[in-house]
Amino acid sequence: MENYEPLSESASKIFNIKEIHKRYWKKFCDRFYKNFRFPEGTDWDYKKKFEYFCNSKIQGDEHSNYAQRFLQVNIDELKQLKECSEEFLEQKDGYDIVPELFIFVRKMRRLSAKLENDSRIISLVCPYGRDEGIDYTKFLITEKSSFLPKSKDWPTIRETIKSKACDRMLWEMMDSDFYSQSTNDTMITDDVEGNVIQYNPTDENIAFIVDEIFENQVYWYNESLKIYMSVCPTKGKGSEGNELMALLYRLFVSYCDSLKDIKDILDESPSPLKLVELQKERNHQIRHFGNNDYGEHWMACMTHENGIQNVAKYFMHHRDLSTDYKERDFFYTLDKICIIDDILQGYADKYGLNISYPDDWMKPSREAAEDEKETSKAQQVAKQNIIPDFVYEKIKSYQEGKTKPRDFMLPVRAAVEAGLMSRLTFEDYGATGLMNNQSDSSYYDYLKEDKIIYKIKEYQRILKDFKQLSNNDK
């Protein structure tokens, strides 16, 4: 029976989707969480929202097109509204005109809201090939109506608002000032081009209001459609300035897309072989991942601080040379590798899987154990000879949970300045096990006596702590 083969240190960083979730959830949540239409309690913080999000993804997502999951507009709706507008303009019955107008305006407002939603999302994530080649101008609605000339026998406003239903519909379609002015059944004195006139607005033909409402609502609908047209991408168009958000969008919404296939692999083997087959699949998918242009770049960048920023720019800048399949394959494979390795490490229950792990599953192979043992011995000797144990532990405590070279080096510099350890060579320092992928140039730079960064309050606080440690040791 084979044992778990842990990923190398660099591969663990490359396929650590958990760290990305932890680091960028707030950014993603602020922009997109509401689009999931999840139930949300008043006391739900980011942690609670993340838990609900993960559970919903693990349980399954009914959507298949990961890059367009929050988009709502479809071509049929645009066509239908255009046809509806043309039918409405042919309306001849004045007694039915307000209910007909109300239905049309409701449809137009609903579609406008969808257009605004999609415009916001498209501008951020630039989904691949969204309705390429479609001429959206043909869905713009004629703004001018002409009911007044043909409304001779139509009811007045006064007659129309006698119906409580019609009155309510008009109120919902008009702004408050226009409604008040149009439905106020009193004589009004006005000055028009030097002529004083008296009139009652409710004596006006209902067509007067219908024309005004129609033209106003159509104008705003057309504006929504024009904005949508301006952001709707063509192949190769990038999400300028929003590259990271575009990448995060895809990373989060594609989370657990591979879970069904992983379950199938588990179902196809008896219990003792499940994990072995899963491990083979992980290794196979890693090789496959590296053959994808996006995957190759991801693997090259993700061992570096903020490497995901570089991946995001590469991803959006090279979409003209890509395909929808290649894009989807990249995110699917990344998801599959990360989840499989999570399961292999003993976290099957996180994904609702019941896996019986052999007692010795996590026991490293003899060769790996020997290598680890030798490395550990070398580091221990180096630590004891170069850095006192109490200083070593203090440095480790400050480095706990940190990832940036600056945060790793502040306590090291403080220990040197407090006289608790010498200014080590890069090689000696590396032997202590306190290294965090710093380059030698970065290491020596942070130990410079004139390094401005060490004047900051955080460093002074750490230095004070180490000087106190030095005094206690005397």
Q: pLDDT digits over 80-128, tens only?
A: 999 999 999 988 888 899 999 999 999 999 999 999 988 888 877 776 5
Q: What's the confidence (pLDDT) of residue 446? A: 83
Identify whether residues 89 and 180 lie together within a single domain.
yes
Q: What's the confidence (pLDDT) of residue 384? A: 52
- Over residues 287-296, mean pLDDT: 89
Identify whether residues 55 and 80 lie together within a single domain.
no
Q: Is residue 79 part of a domain?
A: yes
Identify whether residues 397 and 441 lie together within a single domain.
yes
Say what angle helices 324-344 and 259-267 make with each other, to 10 degrees: 50
Q: Is residue 371 part of a domain?
A: yes
Q: Which domain does 198 fall in, by range?
A: 75-231
The CB-side HSE value for 378 (13 A sphere, CA atoms) comes to 13
CA distance 341 to 335: 10
Identify whether residues 96 and 30 lie together within a single domain.
no
- Band of residue 140 on the pLDDT scale cut at 50, 70, 90: very high
The CB-side HSE value for 27 (13 A sphere, CA atoms) comes to 15
Percent of the chain at pLDDT exceeding 90: 35
- Mark which of 181, 214, 231 sits at the end of a domain: 231
Q: Is residue 240 part of a domain?
A: no
* Average pLDDT of the residues of the chain: 84
Q: Is residue 148 part of a domain?
A: yes
Q: Is residue 298 part of a domain?
A: yes
- Mark which of 322, 351, 380 sits at the end of a domain: 351
Identify whether residues 328 and 214 lie together within a single domain.
no
User: Residue 344 pLDDT > 90, yes or no?
Assistant: yes
Identify whether residues 80 and 118 lie together within a single domain.
yes
Q: What share of the chain is helix, strand, coil (3-state, %, to 5)?
A: 65, 5, 30
Identify whether residues 81 and 107 lie together within a single domain.
yes
In single-letter form, the type of residue at position 396 comes to K
pLDDT tens digits for 326-341?
A: 888 999 999 999 999 9
Number of domains in the chain: 3
- Band of residue 370 on the pLDDT scale cut at 50, 70, 90: low
Spell out the residues 6+ positions from residue 215 whose beta carbon is closer than 8 angstroms to its own: 143, 144, 145
Read off φ and ψ for residue 263, nearest 5 degrees: -60, -40
Q: What's the confidence (pLDDT) of residue 239? A: 58
Instruction: Please give the model's pTM, rounded to 2 decimal places.
Output: 0.60
Percent of the chain at pLDDT exceeding 70: 86
Q: Is residue 68 part of a domain?
A: no
- Over residues 438-449, mean pLDDT: 79
pLDDT tens digits for 386-406?
A: 677 788 888 888 887 777 788
User: Residue 230 pLDDT > 50, yes or no?
Assistant: yes
Identify whether residues 134 and 194 lie together within a single domain.
yes
Q: What's the confidence (pLDDT) of residue 261? A: 94
Spell out the residues 6+ positions from residue 445 whose beta carbon is closer than 8 angstroms to its own: 451
Structure-token pair, residue 356:
């019986």
Identify whether residues 51 and 104 lie together within a single domain.
no
Identify whether residues 97 and 225 lie together within a single domain.
yes
- Mark which of 323, 351, 379 sits at the end of a domain: 351
Q: Which of 455, 409, 410, 459 is nearest to 435 (CA)?
A: 409
- Band of residue 66 on the pLDDT scale cut at 50, 70, 90: low
Identify whether residues 300 and 409 lie together within a single domain.
no
Q: What's the confidence (pLDDT) of residue 251? A: 92
- Over residues 59-74, mean pLDDT: 68
Read off φ and ψ for residue 154, nearest 5 degrees: -80, 155
Identify whether residues 458 and 384 lie together within a single domain.
yes
Q: Is residue 241 part of a domain?
A: no
Q: What's the confidence (pLDDT) of residue 82? A: 95
Q: Is residue 242 part of a domain?
A: no
CA distance 6 to 195: 91
Q: What's the confidence (pLDDT) of residue 205? A: 93
